Chains A and B, each alone.
Chain A
Amino acid sequence: MAASLKQDYAKILKAGANLVMISPDPLEEHRRYALALFGGELPYLYVSDSDLDIARRYGLIRTKEHPHGGFYYRSLWILSRDARIAYRSVPWEGNARVEEYQVLFKLIDSEPGEWRATCGLRPPEQLHAS
Chain B
Amino acid sequence: MVAKPKAPRVGVKAPEFLIETADGRLLLHQLAARHEKLILTTQDSYRYHPN
Contact surface of A with B, Cβ cutoff 8 Å? 1-3, 5, 12, 15-25, 29-30, 33, 37, 45-47, 49, 53-61, 63, 66, 68-88, 90, 92, 94-95, 104, 107-108, 117-120, 124, 127
A66 and B37 within 8 A (CB): no
Q: How many residues of B contact A (CB 8 A)?
A: 42
Which residues from chain B sit less than 8 Å from chain A, CB to CB?
2-15, 17-21, 28-29, 31-51
Total contacts A to B, CB within 8 angstroms?
Answer: 192
- Closest-CB distance, A68 to chain B (whole angstroms): 5
A119 and B51 contact, CB distance less than 8 A: yes
Asked whether, in the complex, the Cβ of A66 is within 8 Å of the Cβ of B48, the reply is: yes
Q: Is the interface of A mostly helix, strand, loop or mixed?
A: mixed
Contact among A20, A53, A73 with B38 in the assembled complex (CB-CB below 8 Å): A20
Give the one of B39, B40, B47, B51 with max A CB within 10 A.
B39
Contact A58 B37 (CB under 8 A): no
